[in-house]
Amino acid sequence: MGFQKVAERGDLWSGEMIGLEVNGERILLVNVDNHIYAYADACPHQKSRLSEGTLTDKILRCARHHWEFDVCSGSGVNPQNSC
């Protein structure tokens, strides 16, 4: 799939995240330090929506089982092999 505009930059302030559905796929947009990151809106553990979790600095925490991810790299933080 090529580029598809799904939001305006002003829709997502630094430190915010939003879950969207695009072409039947759930995606998560996260703004950290005015950089936008896009991920599948599904925790790899049990596919719960990451958009229902919390964002603290650059760490995204899943609401269901508290798995944590570094938004900037996409790497697992707790547990480290969570990706």
**pLDDT tens digits, 7-65:** 888 889 999 999 999 999 999 999 999 999 999 999 998 899 999 999 999 999 999 99
pLDDT at 80 over 90: no
Please state the pTM of the whole predicted model. 0.88
Q: Which residue has the higher pLDDT, 71 or 2?
A: 71
d(CA 51, CA 29): 9
More confident: 79 or 33? 33
Rounded-to-integer distance, Cα 83 and Cα 67, Å: 10
